[in-house]
């Protein structure tokens, strides 16, 4: 059977955070119900089509899936189980926001087989949470975390964010200290990215430009301070027994997120729901992002038409807004710059198995250059970034775009 990962997008949030450019918004219950019906039909449709698929991980993301009533998530998981074969030890994650979770919901998640929670905290400082426009306090996070443990969840991720306006290295350490006292199995720590189209962009984009130019900033941390924050995070978490298995992700041994590792290893995944992306064979597809359109298409059409491209059967449906057949070059680039995000790096053997050509034949020049600069190591069949390489990972990863290597 063909192994695949499943991503289900729930685009609803109580209120939009000020930095957020994800596909998420507040909607009333009636719209939420209509959406969940459509999503369940999409799951059933693909279940009918992909009979030989074995699902290894399920990730219910958003948005704030935990904002929905418990029975909606139960129905969703019922549809997944009724439509697909799931591995017996499948990792099944749901994203939760503090303050939106109750004992009843957590019990329902457990009953539905969900075995991993990812809780969005971002900061343990209430002033920082207010600045970000988050709807919860740190005390609400603690309550949510305790409820989760009390309900029997033994695999919990906590999402954190650094590089916030006005944040100091000391503040980052203080947040980590508080979170470490709870001993979550997994911690993600991303730097704030000020995205265009968000209220944060209006406020801070001049500072972003200064930051990128290495100049003094007014509100955002300087490049050096952001580096210090990342180093402090790395140091504190490794001292506390977490493995730094990906640039922004840390886990206790055995608790690295299998779903996300699949993305970095280019495992096939099926993304269902508004705006969700899929990697199906050589095709990368993304669903429509307009809610009204997504809902309308389901009302109009029962059986989704398949597109034919060059006489080939393409896995896309009429719900997809974009369908791209990846060239071999694009697949190689993805293989390298996603795989090198992992501390373990990429395996030469895997590259050769996928592309039937040794990695050195394609990337010999950048591999030599990056190794000579001490940014990358080739050892025991693996290629991986050194500590210094991880510090400047954007630069190193960019070397694996084939236009830049002049070898493509």
Residues that bind ligand SF4 (CB under 6 A): 13, 16-17, 20, 22, 24, 62-64, 97, 120
**How many Å separate Cα 353 from the centre of its chain?**
26
| Angle subtended at Cα 294 by Cα 289 and Cα 300, rounded to the nearest 5 degrees | 155
Which DSSP string corresponds to 270-333?
A: EEESTT-EEEETTEEEEE---HHHHHHHHHH-SSPPPPEETTEEP---TTEEEEEEPPHHHHHH
> Of 120 and 366, which has the nearer Cβ to ligand SF4?
120
Cβ 309 to ligand SF4, closest distance in Å? 33
Cβ 41 to ligand SF4, closest distance in Å? 24
Q: Compute the distance between CA of residue 322 and CA of residue 286 in angstroms, rounded to an integer.
A: 5
> Of 186 and 210, which has the nearer Cβ to ligand SF4?
186
> Of 274 and 359, which has the nearer Cβ to ligand SF4?
274
Cβ 274 to ligand SF4, closest distance in Å? 12
> Of 42 and 95, which has the nearer Cβ to ligand SF4?
95
Q: Are strands 85-96 and 320-325 parallel, antiparallel or unpaired?
A: unpaired
**How many Å separate Cα 340 from the centre of its chain?**
16
Cβ 328 to ligand SF4, closest distance in Å? 35
| Exposure string for 223-255, b = 16+ CB within 10 A, e = fewer | bebbbbbbebbbebbeeeebbbbbbbbbbbeeb
Whether residue 63 has a cis bond before it, omega within 30° of 0: yes
> Of 69 and 325, which has the nearer Cβ to ligand SF4?
69
CA Rg, the chain, in Å? 22
Interacting residues of 378 by C-beta distance below 8 A, sequence separation 6+? 367, 371
Measuring CA to CA, which residue among 219, 237, 299 is closest to residue 34? 299
Query: What is the 3-class SS of 42-72, one letter each residue?
Result: HHHHHHHHCCCEEEEEEEEEECCHHHCCHHH
> Of 65 and 339, which has the nearer Cβ to ligand SF4?
65
Dihedral of CA atoms 390, 391, 395, 396 in degrees, nearest 10, equals: -30
Cβ 26 to ligand SF4, closest distance in Å? 9
Cβ 200 to ligand SF4, closest distance in Å? 11
> Of 133 and 408, which has the nearer Cβ to ligand SF4?
133
Cβ 22 to ligand SF4, closest distance in Å? 4
> Of 62 and 339, which has the nearer Cβ to ligand SF4?
62
Cβ 156 to ligand SF4, closest distance in Å? 17
């Amino acid at each position: 059977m063909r192994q695949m990962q499943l991503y289900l997008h729930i685009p609803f949030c109580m209120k939009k955070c000020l930095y957020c450019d994800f596909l998420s918004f507040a909607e009333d219950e009636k719209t939420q119900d209509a959406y969940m019906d459509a999503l369940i039909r999409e799951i059933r449709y693909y279940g009918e089509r992909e009979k030989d698929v074995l699902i290894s991980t399920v990730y219910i993301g958003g948005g704030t899936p935990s904002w929905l009533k418990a029975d909606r998530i139960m129905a969703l998981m019922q549809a997944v189980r009724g439509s697909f074969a799931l591995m017996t030890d499948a990792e099944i994650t749901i994203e939760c926001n503090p303050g939106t979770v109750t004992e009843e919901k957590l019990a329902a998640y457990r009953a539905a087989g969900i075995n991993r929670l990812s809780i969005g905290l971002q900061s343990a400082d209430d002033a920082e949470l207010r600045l970000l426009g988050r709807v919860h306090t740190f005390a609400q996070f603690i309550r949510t975390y305790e409820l989760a443990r009390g309900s029997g969840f033994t695999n919990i991720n906590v999402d954190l964010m650094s590089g916030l306006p006005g944040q100091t290295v000391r503040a980052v350490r203080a947040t980590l200290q508080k979170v470490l006292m709870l001993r979550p199995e997994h911690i993600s720590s991303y730097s704030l990215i000020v995205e265009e189209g968000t209220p944060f962009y209006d406020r801070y984009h001049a500072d972003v430009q200064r930051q990128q130019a290495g100049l003094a900033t007014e509100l955002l941390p300087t490049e050096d301070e952001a580096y210090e924050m990342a180093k402090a995070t790395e140091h504190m978490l490794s001292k506390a027994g977490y493995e730094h298995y990906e640039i922004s992700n840390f886990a206790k041994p055995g608790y690295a997120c299998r779903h996300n590792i699949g993305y970095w290893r280019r495992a096939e995944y099926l993304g269902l729901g508004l705006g969700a992306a899929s990697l199906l064979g050589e095709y990368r597809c993304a669903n429509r992002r307009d809610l009204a359109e997504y809902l309308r298409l389901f009302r109009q059409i029962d059986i989704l038409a398949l597109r034919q491209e060059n006489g080939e059967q393409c896995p896309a449906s009429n719900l997809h807004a974009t369908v791209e057949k990846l060239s071999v070059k694009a697949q190689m680039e993805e293989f390298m710059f996603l795989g090198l995000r992992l501390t373990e790096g990429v395996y030469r053997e895997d590259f050769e198995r996928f592309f039937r050509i040794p990695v050195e034949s394609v990337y010999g020049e950048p591999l030599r250059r990056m190794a000579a600069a001490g940014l990358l190591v080739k050892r025991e069949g693996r290629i991986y970034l050194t500590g210094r390489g991880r510090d400047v990972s954007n630069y190193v990863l960019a070397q694996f775009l084939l236009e830049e290597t002049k070898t493509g």
